[in-house]
Amino acid sequence: MTIYGYDVTLSDATVLLALFTAISAIFTALAAVHTRRLAQYNKEIITQSEIQHRERFRPLCFPMTNKREVIADFNEVLIPSKTTMSPDGIYNTFPDPRMQLIFLNKGLGPAINLRFHINDIRNQRITKDFLVSHVLPPDEIFEFTSKIPLLSADHGDGKTFTMSPHDIISNAYFFVCEYESMFSGDVFHSIVAKGYQDPALADDGMNQWRLNRPITPPVEFEPGLDPAKPIWPVPPEGANYPAAFLNFPSQPENGQPK
């Protein structure tokens, strides 16, 4: 057989065919590797884009005072009951201990299942969860007013744990707000601390850093749920924690749920 003026035998043709086949296989393998790398690169781009999208439309919820300022003085939002006497000798009793807050969503995405609780200086829960709102759209507020109920829990051994509303007010140090993203389902929590430059808050010798906190602390935003545990007995392993504690809805002054 003559190809381009060259006599090519059957064995030569077999060798050439094998060579072309090998070269084709090499190029096919290189193309496959390149395709896999391109697919992996595209996958990483898509993943990063999804992460950026989820982060961009993340809700950012936190409590404020009625003046729409970050909470520094807890007396602005935790209001104890009190009795005063007017100049004419008449006693006036103010409502039961209560809290008045405004919750704001400064993120670009809506928040769902917005709730909060109060922790003490040792970062232990001293209240159950207060349900604020099922949905809080971006840049919207929710005005929250509720009585501070007596906290009571059964130890399971016949003993009952109780904490009065006044004890809650005096021990309150952290407001912790928990919520979820409507778009991604991710869970977040924000923390607002008292932040006073008060030596009494560091008298246990283990919290000297609190002496350096600013008078008006910033809001701390964290992923996930608040890891703090309650000071009362925790529910059984099979319980839906913390949703089992969503039993304190917002209450207006007339006592009817919002």
Give the phi and the psi of residue 128 in degrees, each rounded to 5: -80, 180
Tens digits of per-residue pLDDT, 154-207?
A: 666 667 778 889 899 989 989 999 999 998 889 999 999 886 545 555 566 666
The domain limits of the chain are 2-54, 60-249
Q: Cis check for the bond before 95: say yes or no (omega within 30 of 0).
A: no
Q: For residues 73 and 71, what is the distance between their CA atoms, to the nearest angstrom?
A: 6
Tens digits of per-residue pLDDT, 56-97?
A: 889 999 999 988 888 878 888 998 876 666 667 666 666 688
- Order of strands across the sheet with 174-181? 220-223, 187-193, 174-181, 111-119, 130-136, 248-249
Cα 50–chain centre separation: 20
Whether the predicted model's global pTM rises above the 0.95 cut? no
Q: For residues 170 and 150, what is the distance between their CA atoms, to the nearest angstrom?
A: 14
C-beta separation of 147 from 98 below 8 A: yes
Q: DSSP state, 170?
A: H
Confidence of residue 144 (pLDDT cuts 50, 70, 90): very high
